Amino acid sequence: MATQGYCVKCKKKVDIKNPVESLTSKGTKIAKGKCPTCGTTVCRMGGLK
């Protein structure tokens, strides 16, 4: 199953395209990638799952 996140531009849950795991400034894991529909950056707290 692909990693899902919420796209604020499309206003729906989408599968994150090319997800990469990184850290926030406070050290929390996030998964970051692009929305396949509009290309906006989509983030998901908790890293890749």
Q: How many CB atoms neighbour CB 32 within 10 A?
A: 19
**Structural domain that includes position 24:** 4-45
DSSP of 1-45? ---EEEETTTTEEEEPEEEEEEE-TTS-EEEEEE-TTT--EEEEE
Instruction: Give the predicted TM-score (pTM) of the model.
Output: 0.81
The confidence score (pLDDT) of residue 19 equals 94
The confidence score (pLDDT) of residue 6 equals 96
For the stretch 1-49, pLDDT in tens is 689 999 999 999 999 999 999 999 999 999 999 999 999 999 999 988 7
Split into its structural domains, the chain has a count of 1
Query: What's the CA gap between 4 and 17, in Å, rounded?
Result: 9
The confidence score (pLDDT) of residue 48 equals 86
The confidence score (pLDDT) of residue 49 equals 76
The confidence score (pLDDT) of residue 34 equals 97
Dihedral sign computed on CA atoms, order 23, 28, 34, 36: positive
